[in-house]
Structure 1
Amino acid sequence: MSDDEGVQSGATRKKRGSYSVGRSTRTTIIRGAAQLLSTRGYYGFSLRDLADEIGVSHPTVMYHFPTKDALVLHVIHAFEDAFGIFDVDVVTREGVEGEADQLVLEERGAKVDTMNEWIAAHLRLAAASDNQIMTDLDRVFTVESVNESHPAHDHFSYRVEAMLQLLERLAEKMPDRDPENPVDTRRLVERWYGMVILGGWDGERFDSRELIVKYLAFAVRELHYSAEQLLALGSMIPRKAAAPFQQLLVEYSSSSK
């Protein structure tokens, strides 16, 4: 290798390492923000508080996320990735003349095509290490985003309606659906938010996995799943979600007696 090649290679490695460190710092900031949002809410902390909490400087946070609203959009993106049901991305919208470009959340529709995939997404969440933070975030965002000035307002207004439409569509596609006994999909959505909001109402942190499993036990009954259908669902559950799936089977069996 020539000296020039060696210098070029070294420079490339250094650049790649710097990029890696930058991504790692952004990830740390987003995770820290998700933690604070899930416990304190949007109005309960500042970017300086976040910097102190995760052990970086305030300018470092500001370098990656100049405003708290921009950071919240990235937390919502992480939230939807964890749930695995809706596809969203943070994009830059070009400002009109005289106005600065701005970050916005772009909603791209559902990631799931069948009711089994919808259930499996919840089971994967139940098995994830950050399931508690994500369900806490759902509660906090749902309550706080009623305020139209909240950065999560538009997305969570969209999310509720999109979930209703998605479940309606998935229910129509179920192979064993009974036209004489249609699924009340609104009841499924209402039950989830009722459990999430009431589960943290008294300030005590509910167990996220228990909540998800109990919700799914309710959902599969509302969807008129047979024991055979539920067992068939097991073939599409990843190994890491085996424990919550087994818990769901127990919950379903005990409530069916």
Structure 2
Amino acid sequence: MSVEVQRGYAKGRAKRREIIDQAMAMFGEVGYRGASLREIAARCGISHPGLLHHFPTKESLLLAVLEHRDEVDIEWVGLDDTDGVVTLRRLVELVELNTTRRHIVELYAVLSAEATSTEHPAHQFFVDRYRTSVDAAVRAYRQAGDAGELREGVDPEVAGRQLIALMDGMQVQWLLDGGATDMVAVVRALVAGHLTVDL
């Protein structure tokens, strides 16, 4: 492969990432339906046809944005860990990370609400994502229970669903009050209250 071709690929990847970043911000600001591909293209300094070269449809851009966000979060949490307490600790740390990236939290809050409609292009993505998130939390609680680190009477299925619901609910409160809510402390308190060991 020539140096020129390699540079072209690198430039294309960089532009694709810029488009995803700008789309992520705009979807968070005005929602998927309110976002315009022309406006996203303008923010990236390219033409509308130039954007369509990378993402031929608005739906393909949306899914690329969501997949990128999940890749970052899954890498952060490490969902394949066999130590339940470690996974639970990382989920609390993910809440802390989210306090530094408001536009991503806005994106998720807006799109997850819009995607309850079966007609929304991200509907199946969010159905699958919630299933994966709940399963990971439940599995972490089960692992903690198997290790003798779960308080008596805590049901892993219930606790896992509570954790995911609380994480999402606290994000909405945090967005609405301009970040005044200490969502990390609230989520940490829930998880710590379920465990017999320090979180």
TM-score by length of 1: 0.65
Matched, 1:161 2:131: yes
Matches within 5 A, 1:86-101: none
Matched, 1:171 2:141: yes
Which residue number corresponds to residue 218 of structure 1? 189
Aligned length: 192
Of 20, 25, 31 in structure 1, the residue corresponding to residue 21 of structure 2 is 31
Relative distance call for 1:65 and 1:111 in structure 2 (3 A) is farther
Of 175, 189, 192 in structure 1, the residue corresponding to residue 167 of structure 2 is 192
Query: What residue identity is the alignment partner of 1:192?
Result: M
Of 55, 68, 84 in structure 2, the residue corresponding to residue 65 of structure 1 is 55
Give 1:82 deviation, angstroms: 2.4
Which structure carries more relative contact order (alpha carbon 8 Å, separation 6+)? 2
Give 1:155 deviation, angstroms: 1.4
Identity of aligned residues (%): 22
Structure 2 regions of 5+ residues with no counterpart? none
Query: What SS class does the counterpart of residue 177 from structure 1 fall into?
Result: coil
Distance in 1 between the 2:98 and 2:173 partners?
22
Give 1:41 deviation, angstroms: 0.5
Asked if structure 1 preserves the Cα contact closer than 8 Å seen for 2:150 and 2:196, the reply is no
Of 63, 83, 87 in structure 2, the residue corresponding to residue 114 of structure 1 is 83
Distance in 1 between the 2:15 and 2:4 partners?
16
Relative distance call for 1:207 and 1:141 in structure 2 (3 A) is farther
Which residue number corresponds to residue 77 of structure 1? 67
Runs of 4+ in 1 over 6 A off after TM superposition: none
Matched, 1:134 2:104: yes
Query: Which structure has the larger Rg over C-alpha atoms?
Result: 1
Matches within 5 A, 1:195-206: 195-201=170-176, 205-206=178-179
Distance in 2 between the 1:189 and 1:82 partners?
18
Q: Which of the two has greater helix per residue? A: 2
Query: What residue identity is the alignment partner of 1:114?
Result: D
Distance in 1 between the 2:73 and 2:142 partners?
22
Distance in 1 between the 2:102 and 2:90 partners?
17
Asked if structure 2 preserves the Cα contact closer than 8 Å seen for 1:85 and 1:121, the reply is no
Asked if structure 2 preserves the Cα contact closer than 8 Å seen for 1:119 and 1:216, the reply is no
Give 1:142 deviation, angstroms: 1.4
Query: What SS class does the counterpart of residue 2 from structure 2 fall into?
Result: helix
Query: What residue identity is the alignment partner of 1:62?
Result: L
Query: What residue identity is the alignment partner of 2:126?
Result: F
